[in-house]
Amino acid sequence: MSFEALFYALFGWVVGMLINHAADVLPRHRALNTAPICPRCGMLRAPLAWSAVLGYLSRRHICLGCGCPLALRSVLVELVTPLLFVGLFWRYGFSIQLGLLSLYSVVLMLVTITDLEHRLIQHAVMVPALLIALVGAFFNHDMTARQAVLGGAVALVLLYAMYLLALPISRLMGRLARRPSEEVPFGFGDVTLGTFVGLITGLPGVVFALLLTILSAGLVAACIVLVQVMRHRYKPLTTIPYGPFLALSGFILMVYGPDILHWYLH
């Protein structure tokens, strides 16, 4: 591995720590510039435990306040982010494209974590992310600004329509199944995330990203139902968060969109 790639991997590790910190404090409505705390009891963490990897290696991973260990998610994020950053570095080299796609990947990872852990896609994350993606559209080498903006617009219209339809349909299903539920199957956060994905994948990439989202989410939902039926614990109207599927599909199309389109058209 070249020195530059190693440097970028180290940078990715620090960014991974920041993603973990943001995922710990933002859903609890704390400011980003607070010191890392235990998400469970709020106790300040030892400096070595600011990094989950270092925390486990130095055996400072147990909170002194509540005895709760550092989340394994934090370790995973600190390991995956450098790998992701090195992968992007190998593909794009030091360039504006590398900076943009790294930043977009950070947003996608953060949203995936908060949606999985709290069923939450926060405006505090998505509003700045949308602004950055809108400006970034003019510097993206993989597409024209027009394609990017059109991608965002298409996603916004389609997902907003889904958002408007989702609640009445789920209420109706709940009434039919005699299990009234107020759980929102498709929240406004999914609309903002989808628009972000549209801006970073552009048109026509966003169409493939949305198709991949529907396919992958449908496949996982079918597997969940299958497992529930096999264990005789079938719960009708179980909803799954769409954010992670949108984020993963968005990432795949953001990086490999041009290759996929080339393959599809030829």
Under rule CB under 5 A, residue 63 binds Zn ion? yes
Which has the closest alpha carbon to 156: 136, 130, 132?
A: 130
End-to-end CA distance of the chain: 34
Scan residues 149-188 and list those touching Zn ion (CB under 5 A): none
Under rule CB under 5 A, residue 64 binds Zn ion? no
Cα separations (Å) of 221 from 134, 226, 239?
32, 9, 8
Burial 216-255 (b: 16+ CB within 10 A, else e): bbeeeeeeeeeeeeeeeeeeeeeeebbbbbbbbbbbbbbb
Under rule CB under 5 A, residue 40 binds Zn ion? yes
Q: Judged by CB, which is closer to Zn ion: 69, or 93?
A: 69
Piece of the chain touching Zn ion by CB under 5 A; list 30-38, 50-58, 76-84, 104-112: 30-38
Contact 70, 64 (CB under 8 A): no
What is the per-residue binding string for Zn ion in 67-106, x denoting contact by CB under 5 A? -x--------------------------------------
Piece of the chain touching Zn ion by CB under 5 A; list 31-39, 140-148, 153-161, 210-218: 31-39
Piece of the chain touching Zn ion by CB under 5 A; list 55-63, 71-79, 161-169, 200-208: 55-63
Under rule CB under 5 A, residue 49 binds Zn ion? no
In the numeric block, which tokens belong to residue 33? 């510039």
Count of residues interacting with Zn ion (CB under 5 A)? 8
What are residue 44's phi and psi, to 5 degrees?
-65, 140
* Residue numbers at the binding site for Zn ion (CB under 5 A): 38, 40-41, 43, 63, 65-66, 68
